[in-house]
Amino acid sequence: MKIVVCVKQVPGAAAVKIDPETRRLVREGVAAILNPFDYHALEEAVRIREAVGGEIHVLTMGPSRAEEVLRESLAFGADHAVLLCDRKFAGSDTWATSYALALAIKKIGAVDLVLCGRQAIDGDTAQVGPGIAGHLGWPQACGVASVSLENDRAILVSRMMDDGYDRCRIRLPAVLATVRELNEPRVPRLAGWIRALERPVTTWNAADLGADVAFLGLNGSPTRVISTSPAGMRSGETRLIDRTPVESATEILRELRLMGAM
C-alpha cells in the first residue's frame, strides 16, 4: 500500500500571532512544530505499513525550514519525504494549498491512501484534506477514528460524529482526515532520528508539479482574509473556591449539577 501523509509545520501553540497590518500569521522568528493532529495520521500510516507492507511518503508545502517536520516524520517511520517550496506558493489559501498538494500526490504516483490530520492548529480550517480529495476527484472521510483495510480496493472507517460513529466503506484511492481518538502516536527512537538525518528530502517547485501559477499563491486564491478579531471574552460570574482539593472538587460538581451541566 502506498500512503501519503500530509503534515504541516505550524507555530508552537503559544506563539500564534497575527500581523495587524497584513492580517497574516506571523511565522518569522517563532518556534515551529509539527502540527499535533498530524502525528495521528503518521502513526496510522506506520501501523498500516506494519500490517500489510508498502511505503509511506510524507508531504508538506511550506518554506525551506518546513524540512524540519519532514525529518521528524522520517524519524517517525516515513520512507520518503517531499517538500513543496517555491515563492509562488506563498499566500495560498486552502484551495490553492490543496491544489498544489494534489498535484504532488499525482506526481508521487500510484498512491492508494492519503492521510491528513483533522486540522492545523494555526489555520484551523480543516479544509485541506477535503480540498485534496476534491482536486483529485477521490472519495474522502473526515473525523476518522478507526481504520481497517477490507482488501486492496476498499477501506472501512468509523467517523466520529457528535452523537456517535458512522461506519463507512470507502473505495481506494481515498483521502482520510484523522482525529486524535484514532491512535496513540509512538515516540521516535534514536535509530529513527539517525536514519532521518541520512535520508534525502526531495524538493519540488511549482514548475516541477506542472502547476498553473494562476491557481497558486495570493493571486491564485479564491478567498481573502478581510479582517481578524479576537474572540469576545465570555462574561459571567467568577467565584473562588478556596478549600481543600477534595472539598473544591465536590463543590464544583455540586455547582455543575445545579447548572444542569451534568
Ligand X SMILES: Cc1cc2nc3c(=O)[nH]c(=O)nc-3n(C[C@H](O)[C@H](O)[C@H](O)COP(=O)(O)OP(=O)(O)OC[C@H]3O[C@@H](n4cnc5c(N)ncnc54)[C@H](O)[C@@H]3O)c2cc1C
- The CB-of-115 to ligand X minimum distance in angstroms stands at 8
Please, which of residues 105-124 interact with ligand X by CB under 6 A?
Answer: 116-117, 119-120, 122-124
Q: Which of 61, 105, 155, 160 binds ligand X (CB under 6 A)?
A: 61
Q: Which of 1, 3, 4, 6 binds ligand X (CB under 6 A)?
A: 6
Enclosing H/E stretch for 249: helix 245-258
Cα(126)–Cα(117) distance, rounded to whole angstroms?
8
Q: Which of 13, 17, 19, 24 binds ligand X (CB under 6 A)?
A: 24
Cα(142)–Cα(44) distance, rounded to whole angstroms?
14
Which residue, 124 or 150, has its beta carbon nearer to ligand X? 124
Enclosing H/E stretch for 59: strand 55-61
What would the grid cell of residue 123 be? 489555520
Please tell me the count of residues contacting ligand X according to CB under 6 A.
Answer: 35
CB 145 within 8 A of CB 40: no
DSSP 210: T
Cα(259)–Cα(29) distance, rounded to whole angstroms?
45
Work out whether 13 is an interface residue with ligand X (CB under 6 A): no
Sketch the per residue contact string, 214 through 233, with ligand X: x for CB under 6 A, - otherwise. Answer: ----x----xxx--------
Footprint of ligand X on this chain (CB under 6 A)? 6-8, 24-25, 35, 37-38, 41, 59-62, 91-94, 97, 101, 116-117, 119-120, 122-129, 218, 223-225
